[in-house]
Structure 1
Amino acid sequence: MKVAIVHEWLDSYAGSERVVEQLLAEWPEADLFVICDFMPEAERGFLRGKPVKTSFIQRLPFARKHFRKYLGLMPIAIEQFDMSGYDLVLSSSHAVAKGVLTGPGQLHVSYVHSPMRYAWDLQHQYLREAKMEHGLKGAYTRHLLHKLRIWDRASAMNPDVVVANSTYIGERIRKAWRRDSITVHPPVDVDRFALKEDKQDFFLVASRMVPYKRIELIAEAFRRMPGRRLVVVGDGTNAPMVREAAAGAPNIEFRGRVGTAELVRLTQDACACVFAAEEDFGIATVEAQACGTPVIAFGKGGARDIVIPGQTGSFFDTQSADAIIAAVESFDTLSIAPAACRANAERFSHGAFRAAMRRVVEEAMR
């Protein structure tokens, strides 16, 4: 059986690339297609030396630094890949990869990280944050996103099977594309985050400081709880707002960016990790559970697939400092075993992902 794996682009080793890595581990004979490949040499190990086939966008002017500005050409680029010689096509899609063209007698299974957020329900937030709500540039961007929505829904009919990375993304797929999906959670390297039973008396938030993460709410909540210690790891555009929310609070410690070993140690030692974002899935939530660390999370999005209330953590219902305070104070009444958190995390291991994807393909081929 000839297999092709289709992915949007390669420029950094992040969440969607970890999916590609495990697909390549399960189907090592597969050919790999991407719109463009600018992955640094130091991060290419997950490709195992496999050659990468790219589109015409790879050769366009300034593509190395600005390939995302060619988004309007990407539907054409993905449709130019010739899949006619393959029995199985696996696409890893957060933008256009699911639009690859296949014919009768070929099986196309698309693993969807999310429909294009910026083209659908988050368009207005995207334009606002990019400061393109007005003017000619904003008008052009709205026109482009309108065209992308039309193509996105039409091309959503291309895959034979749609796989969502969480129940939440399955709901977004149904809303945007009017398609049903199967849920297979993304792979998490749970072995890198070892169980530790003994915990220390501090809460941890480790994340990029960007607006949707809402870390400023966690900082405000702990500023109002001076008896509880919070360690904040990470940096980003929202860092000044987070520091302002924590101003004058000696119980809040900022560590900035830390190395992997230090992040693992802090996650293992924390009495709980706190997450305030509405995530598509939430790999960091699983990593915390793998360390045996309970999670206090906003109860919408992918976290609902991960945390088991009362057994491995708890939820708060609104993104507000008051809700976080109530959740942290009620955390003391819970009796959560680190071993239960670790066992929960095992559901999201590399092996579990590969076995689930193999089952999806085998059932579709029957």
Structure 2
Amino acid sequence: MAGLIAHEWIEAHGGSENVLEAIASLYPDADIVTPWNNAPHRFPDRDVHELWLAKSPLRGKKAHSVPFLTMAWRSAVPKHLDYDWVISSSHLFSHHVLPRGRSEGVPKLVYAHTPARYIWTPELDERGNSLPARLLSPALRRIDRHRAAEATAIAGNSAYVADRIRDAWGVEATVIHPPVEVAKLQSVLEWAALTTPEEQGMLAGLPREFVLGASRFIPYKRLDLVIAAGSKAGLPVVLAGGGPENARLRALAAEAAVPVHFVDSPSSALLYALYQAATVYVFPPVEDFGIMPIEAIAVGTPVVGSWIGGSAETITEGVSGVHFEAPDADSLARAIAAAAALDTEACRAESAKFSREAFNARFTSWVDASLARTTLVEARVQLRPNPDPTASMRPKTQFGSVQRSHAGG
């Protein structure tokens, strides 16, 4: 059966793009539609259709394109293309997509990374606090809520996001956590052996025990708390990443009571080696889900994280990590001490529930069950006596099970 996968923009790096790749691998015959595709290498053998925005000056300008995306998604599917189902991977407006080839509704399943933060939770995204965003948000919220109601079924990437979906869209969502490459992470005994000689020299110069903070260097990631907590706990700190907070973090590091080492933009192998070498991975921000803590857990490193957001679901208290009670150095230092005593193998085992294989099983089960309900409703409508003698002449849409590849699933 012909299927369509709708996704926001496609870039070379991004957590939602990784989820898109997982979904696309489950449905290898489905087309993909996106406002613009800046990473053709991700889907070299697929039909990836771009919206008209790709040929406009708005290409790649995410915030500026927001007012135009609701309209663009409604005309995304040409009338001559006929799809049996649509899966939307949405963190903005891709769930507004409207298949137009059939005379009756096509089932649309939405996997929501979050309702659009720009308009629903501007406190989580400063771009939503701009004057244009504040002026447009009331109208966009009305449109967004109405079009979310078109979905046959909605899944959220965490219970935290499912709560936000309920608040924003007024619907209940199934929770399906995103896939993490647990098997890949656990397939290598020593990731340091796969790093470059220069990276190995850097690793050799790190302390035997240290607290790791790894993420983009931006304010809400709260890497300043990692420095403060390491100082309070008496453990050296390693910060891996890069971004606009670099200078401020280095200034804080210069005043810290413990050594603070910086690793600029680590490669994947180096990041994984840092996870393995760290005593504890400290993850202070409130995230919708948070893949990096699970990567650390997968290689056996316990995590310190918040009781709010995705970390409340992904960190099992006293097994794979410890939650801090308050976002301050004292609370985090206590959590670091408790987490450092946890069992490595128990951490590794906890990561299995977030594996690619677990995602594949949950996602395909959700899709099949959702489409089965649609089929049942359609069948009941067809069996119901119809007083309209012309009804039998109108075309009907038949829905069946989704064809998928089981490779890796």
> How many residues are treated as equivalent by the alignment?
350
Report what 2:217 is aligned to. 209
Contact 1:223/1:252 (8 A) holds in 2: no
1:31-87 deviations in whole A, cap 9, x for unaligned?
111122222x5xx2x314212111111111x23343541210100011112387222
SS at match of 1:63: coil
Cα separation, 2, equivalents of 1:158 and 1:265: 45
Equivalent of 2:55, from 51, 55, 59? 59
Task: Tell me how far 1:241 sits from its aligned partner.
Answer: 2.7
SS at match of 1:347: helix
Equivalent of 1:75, from 63, 70, 73? 70
Cα separation, 1, equivalents of 2:124 and 2:307: 23
Task: Tell me how far 1:266 sits from its aligned partner.
Answer: 1.0
Q: How does 1:89-128 map to 2 (within 5 A)?
A: 89-102=86-99, 104=104, 106-123=106-123, 126-127=126-127
SS at match of 2:8: strand
Task: Tell me how far 1:326 sits from its aligned partner.
Answer: 2.2
Cα separation, 2, equivalents of 1:125 and 1:113: 14
Contact 1:196/1:292 (8 A) holds in 2: no
Cα separation, 1, equivalents of 2:106 and 2:133: 35
Cα separation, 2, equivalents of 1:205 and 1:67: 28
Q: How does 1:1-366 map to 2 (within 5 A)?
A: 1-39=1-39, 41=40, 44=41, 46-60=42-56, 62-66=57-61, 68-82=63-77, 85-102=82-99, 104=104, 106-123=106-123, 126-127=126-127, 132=130, 138=131, 140-194=132-186, 200-225=208-233, 227-249=234-256, 250-332=258-340, 334=341, 336-366=342-372
Task: Tell me how far 1:344 sits from its aligned partner.
Answer: 1.3
Unaligned runs of 5+ in 2: 191-206, 373-409
Instruction: Give the TM-score normalised by the residue count of structure 1.
Output: 0.89
Q: Give the greater-gyration-radius structure (CA).
A: 2
Task: Tell me how far 1:125 sits from its aligned partner.
Answer: 5.5
Report what 1:135 is aligned to. none
1:258-306 deviations in whole A, cap 9, x for unaligned?
2111111111111210000001101001100110111111121011121
Contact 1:204/1:273 (8 A) holds in 2: yes
Cα separation, 1, equivalents of 2:281 and 2:113: 24
Cα separation, 2, equivalents of 1:218 and 1:281: 19
SS at match of 1:186: coil
**After alignment, is 282-291 or 141-150 more displaced?**
141-150
Contact 2:110/2:151 (8 A) holds in 1: yes
Distance 1:66 1:303, change over 3 A: same
Unaligned runs of 5+ in 1: 133-137
Cα separation, 2, equivalents of 1:263 and 1:124: 26
SS at match of 2:261: strand
Contact 2:8/2:92 (8 A) holds in 1: yes
SS at match of 1:201: coil
Cα separation, 2, equivalents of 1:124 and 1:7: 21
Instruction: Name the amino acid aligned to 2:59.
Output: R
Cα separation, 2, equivalents of 1:33 and 1:260: 28
**After alignment, is 65-74 or 84-93 more displaced?**
65-74
**After alignment, is 284-293 or 199-208 more displaced?**
199-208
Task: Tell me how far 1:17 sits from its aligned partner.
Answer: 0.8
Instruction: Name the amino acid aligned to 1:171.
Output: D
Cα separation, 1, equivalents of 2:303 and 2:239: 15
**After alignment, is 206-215 or 147-156 more displaced?**
147-156
Instruction: Name the amino acid aligned to 1:352.
Output: A
**After alignment, is 79-88 or 67-76 more displaced?**
79-88
Instruction: Give the TM-score normalised by the residue count of structure 2.
Output: 0.80
Cα separation, 2, equivalents of 1:165 and 1:145: 24
Task: Tell me how far 1:124 sits from its aligned partner.
Answer: 8.1
SS at match of 1:360: helix
1:210-239 deviations in whole A, cap 9, x for unaligned?
1111111111222334x3121111111122
Distance 1:224 1:317, change over 3 A: closer
SS at match of 2:242: coil
Cα separation, 2, equivalents of 1:155 and 1:105: 13
Instruction: Name the amino acid aligned to 1:343.
Output: A
Q: Name the Cα RMSD after superposition.
A: 2.3
